[in-house]
Structure 1
Amino acid sequence: MSAAAGGHSAATLYEAAKLPCACDPGLRAAWAGAKVAGPAFTVRGIGGDNLALHNAVLAAPAGSVLVVDLQGAAYGHWGEVLAVAAQHRGILGLVVDGGVRDSEEMAAMNFPVFSRHVTVVGTVKDYPGDMRSPVRVGGVVVHTGDLVVGDADGVVVLPQDSAAAIISRADQRVADEQRIIADIRAGKTTLELYGLKTEGSW
């Protein structure tokens, strides 16, 4: 995982955040192994129209992740051509509440994409989009600058002003988990380590 997230997984950051910051599980990696972490650049478009994405590729700064509200529409709003253009401009990846296509091509070029659908259905190009305004993606409100992290387990969004503190707590969680794993390998049980009730103790 990118240094932007302290090297932590989406699951670890979610647990450390103690916030409702996980996008719903319908939003997932468009290709196996995709991972992304970086500051959001928010985009609002209209489902079935991908002009906003063409504009976003030009507007977003290098090192950002496009986070796009397309109302969950099942259209192929994004594909290989836009991925090449985005990668050329230094954009780290895409999280879109909508559909994409060309998943194998994007996997081959290692451009991470998280979407609700993978579909060949085409789009029009009429609505130029709204950039940098808050959007709702996967049920989570995202602001430009929030830290977005996606991997095989899902996508989380950490508020910009608390991301550093969350990453610090995630560091501690990982250290604690490593101690627990060492204890399990030494013979202790998860029931002992977590203080859980044993069978018949109800």
Structure 2
Amino acid sequence: MSSNDLARGHSSATLSEASGLFVALSPQIRSLWAGARLCGPAFTVQGAGGDNLALHHAVPQAPPGSVLVADVGGARFGHWGEILTVAAQQRGIAGLLIDGGVRDAAETAALGFPVFSRNNAILGTRKDFRGVLGRPVKVGGVTVNPGDLVVGDVDGVVALPASDTERILDRAVARVTHENELMKRLREGRSTLDLYNDFETAGRCHR
């Protein structure tokens, strides 16, 4: 099973905590429509605020299954909309993560294309800067490198370093197993304080 498939089984919060790293993007980066979920390797785009030419160049070059990860400086312009969404879907792109504004929320939701952005904005954009593709970009306060695994859901977005993804996913599985055991005991009538005291005691006994 691929890392993408394994990551889809975990929430962004679980992956963030399992990583032990600064991988969680700013909470201001949110899904454009309810229920959107993002998962795939990053194809990075360095653009410019108020200009979406870089995104038009990125779509035909991004590998199918990848997530476009674009830095446009958080600018409040509609850098992405229905036309680019249709083009991206035809290419097989898995979604968009952009530190900036997008528009056409209803149309994008109807198409089922995952978009996570800093804001929604209707101001039009120019097309002057071709951008730079395939270099590290900063999105939501986190540096994202090409190939990093991007996962987004209702709680937020994480960017997992490609070199560390396997370790993080293993830790996520262990974390979920532990939490399932906690919830089983809670349903048996234990309190959260009881459970955490039990684990604290067990930890001291094994030191």
Shorter chain as denominator, the TM-score bin is over 0.9
Pick aligned residue for 1:63 from 62, 65, 82: 65
Shift of 1:172: 0.7
Alignment of 1:34-183 (within 5 A): 34-183=36-185
Counting matched residue pairs gives: 196
Helix, strand or coil at the partner of 1:165? helix
Specify every segment of 5 or more residues in structure 2 that has no aligned partner in the other structure, as ranges.
201-207
Moved more, 187-196 or 102-111: 187-196
- Identity value in percent: 57
TM-score, normalised via structure 2 length: 0.92
- Give the 3-state SS of the residue equivalent to 1:88 in structure 2: helix
Equivalent pair of 2:6/2:169 in contact (CA under 8 Å): no
Note if 1:15 corresponds to 2:22. Answer: no
CA deviation profile, 1:10-67 (whole Å, cap 9, x unmatched): 0000010000110011111011111011100000000000000000001100010000
* Mapped partners of 2:6, 2:122: distance in 1: 33
Q: What is the root-mean-square deviation in Å for CA atoms of aligned residues? A: 1.3
State the 1:6 CA deviation: 4.7
Give the AA of the match of 2:103. Answer: R
CA distance in 1, matches of 2:172, 2:89: 29
CA deviation map 1:76-131 (0-9, x unaligned)? 00001101100110000000000000111111111000000111111000100100
Give the residue type in structure 2 aligned to 1:30.
L
TM-score between the two structures when normalised by the length of structure 1: 0.95
C-alpha separation between the residues in 2 aligned to 1:58 and 1:38? 17
Structure 2: which amino acid aligns with 1:27? I
Extract structure 1 runs of 4+ deviating beyond 2 A.
none
Segments of structure 1 that go 5 or more residues without pairing to the other structure are 198-202
AA in 2 matched with 1:129 = G
Give, in angstroms, the shift of residue 179 of structure 1. 0.6
The correspondence of residues 14-33 of structure 1 with structure 2, limited to 5 A, is 14-33=16-35
Cα distance in 2 for partners of 1:133, 1:41 equals 9
Contact 1:4 1:38 in 2 (8 A): no
In the alignment, residue 104 of structure 2 is paired with which amino acid? D
